[in-house]
Amino acid sequence: MMVRKIRLMFAITITLGICIIIFQLCLLLYDSTKLSFSDDNTPVILWWTPFGNNNQVKTCGSAKCYFTYNRAFKNNTRLKSILFYGSDFRIHDLPNWRSNAISWGLLHEESPRNNPILVHEKALNLFNYSSTFSRFSDVPLTLLDLPGLEELIATSYYVPTKEKSVFMHTENLAPVLYIQSDCDTASDRDHYVIELMKHIRIDSYGACVNNAQFDDRFKNNYLDILNNREFLSFVAKYKFTIAFENAVCDDYVTEKLWRPLVVGSVPIYYGSPSFKDWLPNNKSAISILDFASPVELANFLHKLVRDDSAYEEYLSHKLNERDYRVTNNRLLHALRKRPTGTINEFANYMEAFECFVCEQIQNNRGLKTSIVTRKQYNCPLPRDPITGEISKRNWWIQQWNIEKCGAKLLAHYITNNISINRNHFDEQKINMYDHNEC
């Protein structure tokens, strides 16, 4: 009796085990692209460069899409859109066909420093939807680095003007602060700083134009502590902070502007030509473009250093009655519309862009074509920040022009479904550049 029972149980266990193994094998063999979601009508959106949601059905209003990194979906009939993260966009690793029925989306918060080919119209035209720093993109990232309205008007770091003046004497602080470690930029910012420094004292702690040393608190890891309270309190002691972007693009405004505004040091700004559109008030920062030369800017700064009430006109976002600290309605409106949830995080913008594309697919059904242009990523040929001329000294100019050929060539390859061989592509690109064909 007992023996038979044990034999029976043994047999059942073995059979079950074999069944499980066969089932697992079937799973493995079954086309992985069909397994991942059951609803056959759900459009597929493929992140070509892994970035957003992966293997996930997501509901966006009345639309629903399946997001994946799995390139096995590239020939799936449900594929409706391919998304790219700009900094990882590589010409030698792209889909080798382009169909008008499958849109392309570009998410790119960076300046062209990371991928210079993407400033050119021909390259941008390959995309249908964009999320960039431009206010004209589908999901604008213009205010990505601004923590929030509360931070802008808060006085937690704010140092009263009289105390700032005292620090200039007791701690021998210069009126102007500069901290930068990326010294070779398209905007050629250090060229301006070096000139300005001849006419007003600047404490420069970073690797660029260095003339001052951090004390031990910040010495080794200052890149990690840029948002650390102690560091922000240190920045707040300075009357002015140089806020020069690494590139000049419409609406490319970064933490370089927001950080001094948040702590209450007046930014001296160079970057987006339209940056004043986003300031808390008409006078919240000083634009170097409002001065004919660094000397004139320096003279103006000297005047503000001596005249507290003229200086404080630049700090009304800290000093006005609470309800009148920010008067710029464009800024207030844009802040209310940010897809940030409770905290301002990049991930929330990414989610919003995914949903934007998903809704376009389901609501628009290809009736309206949409093509990204320079307006959504407008970075003109870099100019000398002092003379405004196109300077031969700046090697970014050559890079910019070579990539113009790259963009033209890329568009040709993609629209004609030609796979790209990197070496051959580069050769052709340089050849076109040498013959002035772009």
- Of residues 161, 204, 281, 340, which one binds ligand NAG by CB under 6 A? 281
When asked if residue 36 is in the footprint of ligand NAG (CB under 6 A), the reply is: no
- Report the relative pairing of strands 63-68 and 56-60 from DSSP bridges: antiparallel
DSSP 8-state code for residue 85: E
Nearest to 128 by CA among 102, 89, 92, 90: 102
Residue the block writes with tokens 């013959």? 435
Order the strands of the 56-60 sheet from edge to edge.
56-60, 63-68, 44-47, 79-85, 103-108, 129-132
The continuous run of DSSP H or E covering 213 comes out as: none
When asked if residue 423 is in the footprint of ligand NAG (CB under 6 A), the reply is: no
Alpha helices in 203-345 (DSSP H): 229-235, 255-263, 294-306, 308-312, 316-319, 329-337
* Closer residue to ligand NAG (CB): 78 or 98: 98
Counting every residue written for the chain, the total comes to 438
Q: Fill in the per-residue mask, 283 to 322: x = in contact with ligand NAG (CB under 6 A), - = not in contact.
A: ----------------------------------------
* Closer residue to ligand NAG (CB): 60 or 381: 60
* Closer residue to ligand NAG (CB): 241 or 328: 328
Tell me the one-letter amino acid at 388.
Answer: G
CB of 370 to ligand NAG, least distance (A): 5
Rounded CA gap, 305 and 161, in Å? 9
Rounded CA gap, 438 and 436, in Å? 6
When asked if residue 59 is in the footprint of ligand NAG (CB under 6 A), the reply is: no
Rounded CA gap, 261 and 285, in Å? 8
CB of 255 to ligand NAG, least distance (A): 22
CA distances from 99 to 43, 80, 366 (A): 16, 10, 12
Alpha helices in 62-126 (DSSP H): 121-124
State the number of binding residues for ligand NAG (CB under 6 A). 19
> Which tokens sit at 426?
């580069």
Q: Interaction with ligand NAG in 181-210: which residues (CB under 6 A)?
A: none
When asked if residue 62 is in the footprint of ligand NAG (CB under 6 A), the reply is: no
When asked if residue 77 is in the footprint of ligand NAG (CB under 6 A), the reply is: no
Part of the chain binding ligand NAG (CB under 6 A), chosen from 99-107, 113-121, 167-175, 193-201:
99-107
Rounded CA gap, 117 and 403, in Å? 5
Q: Interaction with ligand NAG in 127-146: which residues (CB under 6 A)?
A: 128
* Closer residue to ligand NAG (CB): 240 or 278: 278
Rounded CA gap, 342 and 321, in Å? 25
- Of residues 228, 293, 327, 428, which one binds ligand NAG by CB under 6 A? 327
Q: Fill in the per-residue mask, 224 to 263: x = in contact with ligand NAG (CB under 6 A), - = not in contact.
A: ----------------------------------------
* Closer residue to ligand NAG (CB): 202 or 411: 411
When asked if residue 103 is in the footprint of ligand NAG (CB under 6 A), the reply is: yes
Rounded CA gap, 43 and 66, in Å? 6
When asked if residue 416 is in the footprint of ligand NAG (CB under 6 A), the reply is: yes
* Closer residue to ligand NAG (CB): 126 or 355: 126
When asked if residue 274 is in the footprint of ligand NAG (CB under 6 A), the reply is: no
- Of residues 24, 156, 181, 370, which one binds ligand NAG by CB under 6 A? 370
* Closer residue to ligand NAG (CB): 105 or 294: 105
Part of the chain binding ligand NAG (CB under 6 A), chosen from 31-39, 120-128, 290-298, 334-342:
120-128
When asked if residue 32 is in the footprint of ligand NAG (CB under 6 A), the reply is: no
When asked if residue 328 is in the footprint of ligand NAG (CB under 6 A), the reply is: yes
List beta partners, residue 202.
Answer: 176
When asked if residue 344 is in the footprint of ligand NAG (CB under 6 A), the reply is: no
- Quick check: 358 and 43 in contact, CB under 8 A? yes
* Closer residue to ligand NAG (CB): 87 or 125: 125
Rounded CA gap, 348 and 196, in Å? 39
CB of 146 to ligand NAG, least distance (A): 16
- Report the relative pairing of strands 44-47 and 56-60 from DSSP bridges: unpaired
- Quick check: 258 and 146 in contact, CB under 8 A? yes
Rounded CA gap, 308 and 271, in Å? 27
When asked if residue 97 is in the footprint of ligand NAG (CB under 6 A), the reply is: yes
CB of 367 to ligand NAG, least distance (A): 9
Q: How far is CA 242 from the centre of its chain?
A: 20
Contacting positions for ligand NAG (CB under 6 A): 75, 97-100, 103, 125-126, 128, 281-282, 327-328, 366, 369-371, 416-417
